[in-house]
Amino acid sequence: MANSDLSGIICASVTPVNAQYGIDAGRLAMHCARLLENGCSFVSTFGTTGEGASFSTNEKIAALRALRDAGADMSKQIPSVMTPSSDEAGRLIAEIAALGCRGALVLPPFYYGSATEEGIVAFFEAALAKAGNPDLDILLYNIPQFSRITFTPALVAKLVDRFGQQIVGVKDSTGKLESGIELAQGFPQLSVFTGDDRVLPHLLAKGGAGMIGGMPNLFASDLRQLYEAPEATSSEALKANAATRIEAVDANGALLALKATLAAVYDDAEWARAMPPLMPIASDQAELVFKAIEGTGFAVRPAA
C-alpha cells in the first residue's frame, strides 16, 4: 500500500464530557496519550464511539487545538468528519489539515438516503473545495446503519477515480466480514479496516489493514497483540476474550458501556457522562458489563 503506515489498531476514542456538556479536552488528551502508549497506531476522535454527531464543528476544532496545545502528536490523529453539510465538513477538514493530522475519516452526508453516487461524489468535491483542497489523506467511513449511505465498491471506485491517491482507506463498520474482504481485495491500494474485533483476524488474512473501533479504548494492548499475530496459537485466547468483551459492550449500551467501564478503570465518575440525548447506563447494567469483562481476566476496578 502506498500509505503503508495506515495499519494496525486505531482507537475510535470516546469523548469525555464535562458538567456543562462540553468536550473535556484535558481528559481527552490524557486518554489519547494512554492509547498510543498501549499500542494504538493512531487515534480517531469524534466518530460514532466519540459521539461525533453530537458536537458542533466549532467544538471539535477547539478540542483538536487543545490537544495540540497539550502536546499531543497530531500526526497520530485521524479525526472523524460527521456532518451532512459540505460547509461544515470543509471547515473541519481544513482544520484537520492545518493541525498536521494524519488524515480525516469522513462519513458520507447522512439524512438523505436517496442520495445518488454522483451526489456523494459532489458532496466530497464541495467539502474539499471549501477546505481549500488541502493535501490531506481521506479515509471513507462505511457505517450505513447510521449514515443511510453505503460505500459500495462502485461508489468507492467513483471516489478513487475522482480524487485519486487522496483516498487512502476505508473503515468498514458494517460488521460483515464479506464486506471488508470485498473492499480489501477490490482496492488493494487502500488501507481497509474493520470496526469489529471479531472480524479483525479474518480481514487481516485477506489483505485488510487492521481495525478502527471502540474496544481499544479499554483493550488496546490485547488487540495490538492480536493484530501482530492473528494466527498464533497464543492468539486463540485473545480472540475468545475479544468476542466476549464486544458482545457484553454491544448488549449494554455500546459506547455508553465503554464510558461506564472507563469510569471504573480510571476511578473517575466523570468519564461515564454522555451527551444528550444519550444518557449513562444504570449501575446494575454497568455491573453486567464489568463482570463479563472481568471474566476475561481484565481488571476493571482498581484494587482496594
pLDDT tens track for 144-181? 999 999 999 999 999 999 999 999 999 999 989 999 99
Q: Does 194 have pLDDT greater than 60?
A: yes
Q: Does 277 have pLDDT greater than 90?
A: yes
Active centre residues (catalytic):
141, 171
Residue 272 lies in a domain: no
Residue 217 lies in a domain: yes
The residue range of the domain holding 56 is 8-229
Q: Does 2 have pLDDT greater than 70?
A: no
User: Residue 277: is the preceding peptide bond cis (ω within 30°)?
Assistant: yes
Q: Would you state the pLDDT for residue 230?
A: 86
The total number of structural domains that make up the chain: 1
Residue 87 lies in a domain: yes
pTM: 0.95
Q: Would you state the pLDDT for residue 120?
A: 97
Residue 68 lies in a domain: yes
Residue 89 lies in a domain: yes
Supply 256's cell numbers: 455508553
Long-range contacts of 222-231 (CB under 8 A, 24+ apart): 223/9, 223/39, 223/197, 224/8, 224/9, 224/38, 224/39, 224/40, 225/39, 226/197, 226/200, 226/201, 227/8, 227/9, 227/200, 230/200, 230/201, 230/204, 230/205, 231/201, 231/205
For all residues of the chain together, what is the average pLDDT? 95
Any idea what the CATH number is for the domain that residue 126 is in? 3.20.20.70
Q: Does 3 have pLDDT greater than 80?
A: no
238-269 residue pLDDT tens: 999 999 999 999 999 999 999 999 999 999 99
At 301, is the pLDDT very low, low, confident or very high (cuts 50, 70, 90)?
Answer: confident
Residue 85 lies in a domain: yes
At 304, is the pLDDT very low, low, confident or very high (cuts 50, 70, 90)?
Answer: low
Residue 190 lies in a domain: yes
Residue 247 lies in a domain: no
Binding positions for pyruvate are 49, 212
Binding positions are 49, 212
